[in-house]
Amino acid sequence: MIWNEEFETLPREALEALQLKRLKSTIEQVYATVSFYRKKLDEKGIKPSDIQSLQDLRRLPFTTKADLRDNYPFGLFSVPMENVMRMHATSGTTGKPIVVGYTRRDIDIWAELMARTLSCAGVHKGDIVHNAFGYGLFTGGLGFHYGAEKIGASVIPISGGNTKRQVTIMKDFGPTAITCTPSYALYIAEVAQEMGIDPAVDFKIKAGCFGAEPWSERMKDEIEKRFGIDAIDTYGLTEVIGPGVSSECIEAKSGLHIFEDHFIPEMIDPETEEPLRYGEKGELVLTSITKEAFPVIRFRTRDITSLNPECCVCGRTFVRMERVTGRTDDMIIIRGVNVFPSQIESVLMHIEGIEPHYQLIVDRKGSLDILEVQVEVNERIFSDELKQLEKLGKRVEKEIKETLGTTCRCKLVEPKTIQRSEGKAKRVIDKRKM
């Protein structure tokens, strides 16, 4: 189901004309109002009037997360504060938070993008949306909230946490759609089962929009199985707008359509910064072309994906990005081998009976990196015989070695000892002192 048929199915040529027009006006706007961007363009000797084609975008400098941090809190706002209707911020777990602003028009556009996202999952008026993304400075909660209201759905603004209560409400209120992080969805399913409730039978949910953290295809299968639903991958980031940058469609479930009438995607090699071709895996770079309060130019998302321009069965003409497999800063380097937590997740979920809760502990002994993969022992994999359990551990180690080329040690731990997330899961504990 397409929310905005006119824009989401624009022929390529018309779309690119629209993008160019919007790009030009965005560049003019930031050059006139944000000293950071003006300085960077001046350094390169580029005037806004030099942008005459979409290819000219490549002449502009990148914007990094560090740039946004350096301008904390409001240095990159492009409108006076009196026109800022809302602020959101990143959690700041890796340093100073990044603060973003929205004008009334920005909020309207965001709601439109979230309406598109929910429509991608087949959610429409008449549906009840259980929104378990956190409300507050985090963009997930309010983003989905506004989108769900826009399409005319009934919203349960439950936010994250208090999981037993979530389960009770899901059973009693009968929501037909759920929105939250994938790791939280699995935690909800686990708590439901403890309460004697089978999410696949006792809930009326038919679809879910999940995002805000990298997750594997196998994790998606697991969520679909446990809830008996279609799980849709959605993508976005606070720095660019929040959720609502791209979404899978329920028709194909094969890549996320980037809402290109509002964002221009590029794919680069994160090392060389050279542009990559369609299908090549690299870092996604995004430029917003309709935002007023907090436009971003060539923002380096650090998310690893690839772009696919092929037409989709759903009718949307937007380019699709592959499921994000990791972030350049989530990547752990174990003895020179690049490892993304989602790759290990894929291996683990492939092994029958293993819980989708896991943790990676990275440490260094002498000059050697040690990767420990912690897996919980549940009743499905518990054996009374030591050698069976040891065999399981060996199997995990072997399959990770075969798939990722890195050696690890599998540690079997007691059930529920790995911390459950009510938002974004913390998969890696890096104890190395760099």
Partner 1 sequence: MKVEQISVFLENKSGRLADVARSLGDAGVNIRALSIADSSDFGILRIIVNDNDKALEVLKKKGFTISKTEVVAVEVSDKPGGLAQVLDLLARESINVEYMYAFVERSSDNAVIVFRFDAMDSAIKVLSLNGVVILDGSTVYSL
Does residue 419 touch partner 1 according to CB under 8 A?
A: no
Which of 202/372 has CB closer to partner 1? 372
Q: Smallest distance, Å, CB 378 to partner 1?
A: 6
DSSP 3-state of 41? helix
Does the protein bind partner 1 through residue 350 (CB under 8 A)?
no
Centroid of chain to Cα 69: 20
- Which region, judged by CB under 8 A, interacts with partner 1, from 34-42, 214-222, 341-349, 412-420? 412-420
- CB of 212 or CB of 371, closer to partner 1: 371
196 scored as a contact of partner 1 (CB under 8 A):
no
Is residue 5 a contact residue for partner 1 (CB under 8 A)?
Answer: no
**Rule CB under 8 A: is residue 352 a binding residue for partner 1?**
no
Q: Supply the minimum distance, in Å, between the C-beta of residue 409 and partner 1.
A: 9
User: In the block, which residue shows the tokens 């420990």?
Assistant: 372
When asked if residue 18 is in the footprint of partner 1 (CB under 8 A), the reply is no
Query: Treating both helix axes as pointing N-terminal to C-terminal, what angle do 139-150 and 104-120 enclose, rounded to 10 degrees?
Result: 80
Binding to partner 1 by residue 386, rule CB under 8 A? Answer: yes
Is residue 30 classed as helix, strand or coil in its secondary structure? Answer: helix
**Applying CB under 8 A, does 164 fall inside the site for partner 1?**
no
Is the peptide bond between 73 and the residue preceding it cis, with omega within 30 degrees of 0? yes
Q: Which candidate, 260, 242, 255, 114, places its Cα nearest to that of 177?
A: 114
Residue 287 to residues 63, 65, 177, 365, 393, Cα–Cα distance (Å): 10, 14, 31, 43, 45
**With contact defined as beta carbons under 8 Å apart, do 299 and 239 qualify?**
yes
Q: Which of 44, 7, 14 is nearest to 27 (CA)?
A: 44
Q: How many residues are there in the chain?
A: 434
128 scored as a contact of partner 1 (CB under 8 A): no
* Residue among 85 and 389 whose Cβ is closer to partner 1: 389
Among 29, 33, 64, 378, binds partner 1 (CB under 8 A): 378
Q: How many residues bind partner 1 (CB under 8 A)?
A: 17
CA-wise closest residue to 216 among 246, 240, 179, 186: 186
**Among 298, 292, 301, 280, CA closest to 238:** 301
Q: What are the C-alpha distances in Å from 33 to residues 36, 105, 264, 294?
A: 9, 18, 21, 11
Site for partner 1 in 285-324 (CB under 8 A): none
In the complex with partner 1, which residue's Cβ is closer, 89 or 389? 389
**Residue 397 zone, left/alpha/beta (φ > 0; ψ -120 to 50; rest):** alpha
Among 85, 370, 413, 428, binds partner 1 (CB under 8 A): 413
Q: Which residue's CB is nearer to partner 1, number 42 or number 390? A: 390
The Cα-based distances of 347 to 188, 217, 331, 350, 355 in angstroms read: 23, 11, 16, 5, 12
Least distance (Å) between residue 431 CB and partner 1? 17
- In the list 169, 361, 389, 428, the residue contacting partner 1 (rule: CB under 8 A) is 389
One symbol per residue from 392 to 411: x for binding partner 1 (CB under 8 A), - otherwise; what is it?
-------------------x
Q: Judged by CB under 8 A, which stretch of 20-28, 171-179, 274-282, 382-390 contacts partner 1?
A: 382-390
User: Binding residue for partner 1 (CB under 8 A) from 125, 384, 433, 434?
Assistant: 384
Question: Given the rule CB under 8 A, which residues bind partner 1?
Answer: 377-379, 382-386, 389-390, 411-417
